[in-house]
Amino acid sequence: MSDCFILLSAGKSKRFKSKIYKQFITYKNKPLFEHSLKTAIDSNLFKKILVVSNKKIKKNNYKNTDIIKGGVERYNSTQKALDYLKNKDVKNVFIHDAARPNLSINLLKKLKYELKNNRAVVPYLNSENSVKYKIKNKINNLNRDNVLLTQTPQCFNYKELCKLYKTNKKKITDEASLYLNNNRKIKFILGDKRNFKITTIDDLKYLKQENYYGIGFDIHRLVKNKKLFLGGVKIPFHSGLKGHSDGDVILHAIIDGLLGAMRKSDIGTLFPDNSKKFKNIRSKNLLQPVLKILNDNNFSINNIDINLICENPKVSKIRNKVIKSLSSLLSVNRTLINLKGKTVEKLGIIGKEQAIACEVICSLSR
Ligand code: ZN
């Protein structure tokens, strides 16, 4: 028994006044529907993924993915998907709107976890606005803490959902309504603000990426009988870098680059070098609070380009090791990190192998 991710991509986008259906408009270089599809594939949580679309999509482009034709309304498309999965040994279905491109693997994992003890799990957000409702001509206040704005993916035990669909006669806007109409229990979990739905063409404005760039530079003196750390990893070498911390020039330059792009001053302000707290600290521990600022402010890393300036060690020999370490420390794909080596024709203290310097450019988006 396995879980299936169903991507509903057959909508006619009535409120989205454009010639192209909104799930196929280009957003960050790919059609809108592809974003959450890719997240589902990359999550490795699903043996089977099903896209319901009324437009031809090439199946071969996506791993473990089947594509079927949708219905007129959303619930018709869901019905077709459920029928298609018959006898395919599916335990739970995750039903997602293609118009929510910013689905995160984290939310998928949270939903999956809750499905261990629940037969229906739906993400929601609280309303940030005051809510009123109208009965006849009287407008009433509603306590916004009692308002749940539901998101997708909405997740259900496959068999139970099929049963409810079979007996349902009403038009429903989502599967959560079907459950509630039948007095079934749903476990609501806090969703993700970024996972919003694109309904009108104006919503696209909010998706426009803001890019920011930060530059970082650092240099430390090389001293004998010290371990050398570069990019958070130990490098075999006859000398190490002298500093208040472990002297990791790459991590220090990256920290400054990240802080620069976020406009949050610099490494010295955040971690004063007269503080005992940071004496001999491994620089990878300095990176963690910076990544927290990054996450708390909804930044993500586009790419990082690094120049390591030294005669030795040779960058070609340590490149893979350093990039692997940075990729894991920063939780970004290796392909987004580049490390270049630069010697200085034996000039100055770097040329005489008495110091190593590093410069970095970080690109972030929000
Ligand atoms: Zn430093």
Q: How far is the CA of 345 from the centre of ligand 1 (A)?
A: 23
Q: Give every CB contact of residue 305 below 8 A, 6+ residues apart in sequence.
A: 338, 340, 360, 361
**CATH number of the domain located at residue range(s) 211-365 in this protein:** 3.30.1330.50
Q: How far is the CA of 274 from the centre of ligand 1 (A)?
A: 13
Q: How far is the CA of 18 from the centre of ligand 1 (A)?
A: 52
List the domain boundaries for the chain: 2-207, 211-365
pLDDT at 208 over 70: no
Q: How far is the CA of 316 from the centre of ligand 1 (A)?
A: 22
Residue range 153-164: mean pLDDT, rounded: 96
Question: Which own/partner contact pairs does 162-170 have at CB distance under 8 Å and 24+ positions apart?
Answer: 162/82, 165/75, 165/78, 165/79, 165/82, 168/75
Question: What's the pLDDT at 15?
Answer: 63
More confident residue, 169 or 176: 176
Q: How far is the CA of 30 from the centre of ligand 1 (A)?
A: 39
Residue range 226-251: mean pLDDT, rounded: 95
Q: How far is the CA of 259 from the centre of ligand 1 (A)?
A: 14
Cα distance between residue 346 and residue 154, in whole Å = 62
pLDDT band at residue 11 using 50, 70 and 90 as cut-offs: confident
Phi, psi of 38 (to 5 degrees): -65, -40
Taken as a whole, the chain contains a residue count of 366
Strands 90-97 and 2-9 turn out to be parallel
Q: How far is the CA of 244 from the centre of ligand 1 (A)?
A: 8
Window from 39-43, 141-145, 188-192, 206-210 with minimum mean pLDDT: 206-210
Q: How far is the CA of 157 from the centre of ligand 1 (A)?
A: 53
Q: How far is the CA of 333 from the centre of ligand 1 (A)?
A: 25
Cα distance between residue 46 and residue 253, in whole Å = 39
Contact 350, 344 (CB under 8 A): yes
Cα distance between residue 350 and residue 353, in whole Å = 5
Residue range 264-285: mean pLDDT, rounded: 88
**103-123 as b/e, with b when 16 or more CB fall inside 10 Å?**
beeebbebbbebbeebbbbbb
More confident residue, 26 or 163: 163
pLDDT at 94 over 80: yes
Q: How far is the CA of 230 from the centre of ligand 1 (A)?
A: 11
Q: Packing angle between helix 315-330 and helix 249-262, nearest 10 degrees?
A: 50
pLDDT at 26 over 90: no
Q: How far is the CA of 256 from the centre of ligand 1 (A)?
A: 10
Residue range 164-173: mean pLDDT, rounded: 87
List C-alpha distances in Å: 254 to 315, 316, 326, 359.
Answer: 17, 20, 10, 8
Q: How far is the CA of 326 from the centre of ligand 1 (A)?
A: 16
Q: How far is the CA of 212 from the centre of ligand 1 (A)?
A: 23
pLDDT at 29 over 70: no
Q: How far is the CA of 321 from the centre of ligand 1 (A)?
A: 20
* Predicted model pTM: 0.60
Report pLDDT digits (tens) over 69-92. Answer: 999 888 999 999 999 999 999 999
List C-alpha distances in Å: 69 to 7, 27, 166, 194.
Answer: 12, 23, 20, 28
Q: How far is the CA of 267 from the centre of ligand 1 (A)?
A: 9
Report pLDDT digits (tens) over 98-152. Answer: 999 999 999 999 999 999 999 999 999 998 888 898 988 899 998 888 899 999 9
Contact 128, 187 (CB under 8 A): no
Q: How far is the CA of 220 from the centre of ligand 1 (A)?
A: 6
Q: How far is the CA of 3 from the centre of ligand 1 (A)?
A: 48
Reported in sequence order, the residue ranges of 171-299 that DSSP labels E, i.e. its strands, are: 187-190, 211-224, 228-230, 233-235, 239-241
Report pLDDT digits (tens) over 291-306. Answer: 999 988 878 899 999 9
Q: How far is the CA of 226 from the centre of ligand 1 (A)?
A: 15
Task: Name residue 129's amino acid.
Answer: N
Q: How far is the CA of 218 from the centre of ligand 1 (A)?
A: 5
| Mean of per-residue pLDDT scores for the chain | 91
Q: With the CA atoms of 59, 60, 65 and 67 taken in that order, what torsion angle do they form, in degrees rounded to the nearest 10?
A: 10
Q: How far is the CA of 351 from the centre of ligand 1 (A)?
A: 19
Report pLDDT digits (tens) over 305-321. Answer: 999 999 999 999 999 99
Q: How far is the CA of 298 from the centre of ligand 1 (A)?
A: 26
Question: What's the pLDDT at 182?
Answer: 93
CA nearest neighbour of 255 among 288, 277, 280, 281: 288
Q: How far is the CA of 289 from the centre of ligand 1 (A)?
A: 16
Contact 226, 241 (CB under 8 A): yes
Residue range 48-69: mean pLDDT, rounded: 89
Return the percentage of the chain with pLDDT > 90, whole number: 70
Residue range 182-210: mean pLDDT, rounded: 85
**CATH number of the domain located at residue range(s) 2-207 in this protein:** 3.90.550.10
